[in-house]
Structure 1
Amino acid sequence: MATNQFHFSMSSYLAQKLCLNLGLIAIMVLVLLPAVLQAKVPAGFKQAIVVQNLVNPTRMAIAPDGRIFITEQAGRIRIVELGNLLSQSFLNIATRVDSRGERGLLGIAFDPDFLVNQWVYIYYTSKTPVIHNRVSRFKANGDTVLPGSEDVLLDIQPLGTSTFHNGGAIGFGIDGKLYIAVGDGGNPDNAQSLGNLKGKILRINKDGSIPADNPFYQTATGINRAIWAKGFRNPYNFAVQPETGRIYINDVGEDAWEEVNHGIKGSNYGWPFVEGKGSNPQFRNPIIVYPHKPDAFCTAIVGSAFYNPIKDRFPADYVGDYFYGDLCAGWIRRYDIATKTNSTFATGMGQIVDIQVGLGGTMYVLRRDGGILYSIRYGN
């Protein structure tokens, strides 16, 4: 890995400090690289490398025309088209991005009307005027950005000294609103406050204005009216299910539990008062939890995607299932919403940071170490 290591909050503060030890990181990479050849998927499925040598990839989004846009932490967006990594960046704002720790270019989404208006939305850590996370949109011009087209939609409150817990996922709901996942910035108290946007899921209009039907519109003020749900630690990924609009949010835990939460308007998910499932009725419990293992180097939930493509490639019983992974353990799990059961789908996938499903039913998995994009298909 590069010196500018991307840190998830590990199972403890001690683990965070360990991640800063470059010697340990080098050893970790040497251990994980053979996993390129050790990935295991169910019988009948095939896993393959699409491209590699991306530089610290953080997220991906699939355009309506099938191109895959991949964000790199330092501030570049790369395009994979027909299985090839284009040499020219779609966007390069590296000089404007603070990419220390968990900061950087962290999120990307396409306008629901992208084929008409060409808007691409991103979440990144801006250096100016003070270090803070920002949501902007840019107009695409083929495989590059239209120069001068940045439209700043939302500037989140300035960050503190901690470089951890930035969240970064963005995506559109079926209501046409842009949802934004923001970490607590390393300060747990932020998650419960209506006085800032940190530790929250936000909801804004495509032009950056705030919908008047947001749940805290009358009780919060200014940009804080964008709050849609609160009580999160580091919601690194979320996914929206087509047709139903169901939103599942992955929240990276501290010392005990990783969570998948069902996103509900106005809900409080309990951080920092509860991690995992609790008994306080004012907090909404997660639908999926899994524990940290005492002997694990780290634990960090990532992903995520519903399997609802336009054209199904997986067996019929996979349709509608939710897939999520763990960056440290290198597995992908499958959650059957109807039966509320979890099962292992893939192992040995390395440092997963994102999972997406293409329009044609292929699953794509983005791996940080080695900068690899995998495809997983069923059958020939």
Structure 2
Amino acid sequence: MALVPDGRILICEQGGSLRVAKGGALLATPLLTLPVDASGERGLLGVTVDPAFAANGFVYVYYTATTPAPHNRISRFTTAGDLAVPGSEAVLLDLDDLGAATNHNGGALHFGPDGKLYAGVGENANAANAQSLTNLLGKVLRLDPDGGVPADNPLLAQTSGKNRLIWALGLRNPFTFAFQPGTGRLFLNDVGQNTWEEVDEGRAGANYGWPATEGATANPAYTGPVYAYPHSGGPVTGCCIVGAAFYDPATPAFPAAFLHKYLFMDLCEGWVRTLDPATGTVGDWLTGFSSPVDLRVAGDGSVLVLSRGGGGTLQRVTYTTP
């Protein structure tokens, strides 16, 4: 989902509809509806708004296009009010054609403080893709807002064509990530295979080691996680890390202890926890969500949690002084 500066919330439905929540209600008419391949984990997977949305009305989406072969695509649409302008799609990037596997698509889109568009891309359940510089799968990509290749991308000398968009590699399925307001720090959530779920710090040119490593690593060739939790046998367990956001709202509404914390979730276990970037300390917070998939901090300091369970829900978490 994405938060619009005027308070509206844009919500991706896997089947291809981009819905609008406005004034506490879900509008009946989608902002746009796309023809997507929605098999497995494919579909309409990510959305963000332009930093200059108030002036240009641009919305960016990440979705699985069906032709000429299934592949993920990043497009920009122009909006007017609560609808996309007909015929306004500008295709910024067509990613590599997908194999038979329908999972590990990634899909998160965010603008960085540098004004560039970042995208998290899964390796399409082919682990070798994550280490290859000849495809875009298993990577974080960095694009100019018009889809062009930034002149300062880190791997220009080792890549060609659209692969020059690669900003970091060695990831399995980084389908959620977040920038910290103010500092610009980037945390990536990489979903693990059998053992570890990771929070990785985004760095230009970094290699996070998948499939050679999962969780902490002593190999200097790879960038290890800021934090990782196991699938079993630890004080914190889960099987699919999602989220996420830093608690740095324009108007904080929670106690000072929440400020600057990273909020992340686990889809399988339904909890939300806090991570202190300064110390690495993880704290318990909320439980009971049904397959949560996305989290945002609103400008008023409340926290929004989007879940697949219960037919699809968007819940707002507020703080009441005891």
- TM-score interval (norm. to shorter): over 0.9
Aligned match of 2:25: 84
Aligned match of 2:182: 243
**Alignment partners' CA distance in 1, 2:52 and 2:156:** 27
The structure 1 residue matched to 2:8, chosen from 67, 73, 92, is 67
Structure 1 residue 367 corresponds to structure 2 residue 303: no
The C-alpha deviation readout for 1:109-164, integer Å capped at 9, x for no partner, is: 00000000000000000001111000001011100100000000000010000001
8 Å CA contact 2:230, 2:238 repeated in 1: no
Aligned match of 1:149: 88
**Alignment partners' CA distance in 2, 1:288 and 1:181:** 19
Query: Aligned partner of 2:165: which letter?
Result: A
The structure 1 residue matched to 2:140, chosen from 195, 201, 216, is 201
Aligned residues: 318
Structure 1 residue 358 corresponds to structure 2 residue 303: no
Query: Aligned partner of 1:204: which letter?
Result: L
Q: CA deviation at 1:317?
A: 1.8
Instruction: Using structure 2 for the length normalisation, give the TM-score.
Output: 0.97
Aligned match of 2:281: 341
Aligned match of 2:220: 281
**Relative contact order (C-alpha < 8 Å, sep 6+): which is higher?**
1
Which sections of structure 2, spanning at least 5 residues, go unmatched?
Answer: none
**Alignment partners' CA distance in 1, 2:206 and 2:153:** 12
More helix by percentage: 1
Aligned match of 1:123: 62
Query: Aligned partner of 1:61: which letter?
Result: A
**Alignment partners' CA distance in 1, 2:181 and 2:244:** 14
Q: CA deviation at 1:217?
A: 1.1
Query: Aligned partner of 2:228: which letter?
Result: V
8 Å CA contact 2:238, 2:266 repeated in 1: no
* CA RMSD of superposed structures (Å): 1.3
Structure 1 residue 162 corresponds to structure 2 residue 65: no
Percent of matched pairs sharing the same residue: 51
Q: CA deviation at 1:192?
A: 0.5
Query: Aligned partner of 1:172: which letter?
Result: F
Q: Which is worse superposed, 133-142 or 311-320? A: 311-320
Q: CA deviation at 1:338?
A: 2.3
Query: Aligned partner of 1:264: which letter?
Result: R
Aligned match of 2:38: 99
The structure 2 residue matched to 1:178, chosen from 102, 109, 117, is 117
Aligned match of 1:39: none
Superposition pairs of residues 284-303 of structure 1, within 5 angstroms: 284-293=223-232, 299-303=239-243
Query: Aligned partner of 2:17: which letter?
Result: R
8 Å CA contact 2:274, 2:282 repeated in 1: yes
Aligned match of 1:312: 252
SS in 2 for 1:225: helix
Q: CA deviation at 1:243?
A: 1.4
Instruction: Using structure 1 for the length normalisation, give the TM-score.
Output: 0.82
Aligned match of 1:331: 271
Q: Runs in 1 of length 4+ with deviation above 3 angstroms?
A: none
Query: Aligned partner of 1:63: which letter?
Result: V
Aligned match of 1:25: none
SS in 1 for 2:158: coil
SS in 2 for 1:87: coil
**Alignment partners' CA distance in 1, 2:176 and 2:124:** 16
Q: CA deviation at 1:350?
A: 1.4
Aligned match of 1:224: 163
**Alignment partners' CA distance in 1, 2:172 and 2:285:** 26
SS in 2 for 1:218: helix
Q: CA deviation at 1:298?
A: 7.0
